[in-house]
A and B are shown apart, each in its own frame.
Chain A
């Protein structure tokens, strides 16, 4: 791995497997009464959240704390950022406080990249979701969850369904799952597929029913109802009829197939309540796995950075 995690496109297959294998070891901690390791004692992780995302923030917070790191939560609301402070000044402030890793969530695509390449900070930058670009740790936890249920992802079929255009989860998953050898199909109405998607290492389809029959994983993306106001689709009901995972479609899934959703869900819109709560749904498990995967990312980025005890196969800066 490099010294930052900005895009899953930067990960080689070896990098990705190292994260997933490390996460598998760390996941066993979750079932122990004492969940803490001393690995990152004395290191400081800053959660820099310019957008509200309680779920992602507490997942990173739990991950850092289970590795004994000090955690500083910096939320844009009510802080100097809401008073017009620039990303640069915020970054310089964090740097002055001695952050070893900055976990950044930002509404502007590329903001983590900017933070990592600008020279404003020396710390590792972890992208926790940037605009409509990427959300690499979500993709890693998704891949981790798939592996637990399906084993090796090589040749596995994954359908990612919904608002691909605006989804950072879809981008990160398309790149990562392809790297891991899975066959990804993006399913969406034509209005919600990006121009240029034909250059991605994935297949695309406008027809959810055709994609479902042979899939091993169906991942439903959150679709904002407001999108219909910009004419991406006519109405929430029509979207749901054509692209929602309802009971009827659920029944046609292969027996071994799993259902995923990055959350938060619009029950009744992109996914029916029965489906979300079914035995094939791994949505709650995704959350548990998220902590383990984020522990692995923090561990590999931070503990590998300035120690020599890690032999070959460990991350390089």
Chain B
């Protein structure tokens, strides 16, 4: 949810600035189109430039640019900062044509739990995560480039073959959200979806041990 919050702040600010600029340009255009149309009898200006105004304006643009660069870079760093005191859950995500595998290495009594789907007939695999922890995700791909996008969290990260990306997610409330593949990956790109389900930590532990037991008896779900 940290990503969503940081995104919200930055997006709101940039939308506000953009709306202001857009409104200002529209207003100036309206002045020109109404007051400067040929019918009003005004003569065209002979002035070819206004260097003083232009330099002040450039200065303002520079200040805005520097502010945006610094502010958004800081937001970007804040977004990627993981507090050390929070417990950590590790998940290995693998994208493949055309679905996802979620592995929880040595998560339940040293046993690795794996969830994999085939994304056919709208049967999408679910990434189950505990609330209140830092979910560290290592992501890779078995074949072509995919991208793990969770629109509700306002975040995505690409899955490359022969490369591992890492990022962290946090969930401060329970819920279930749709995830999608965002990088075009071929024929069934469209149906390469998944679910993210955040549950309380004890429910998460229960889920892990059920999964581990199920895979131990060979009846993997």
Same complex = no
Q: Chain A interface (Cβ within 8 Å of chain B)?
A: none
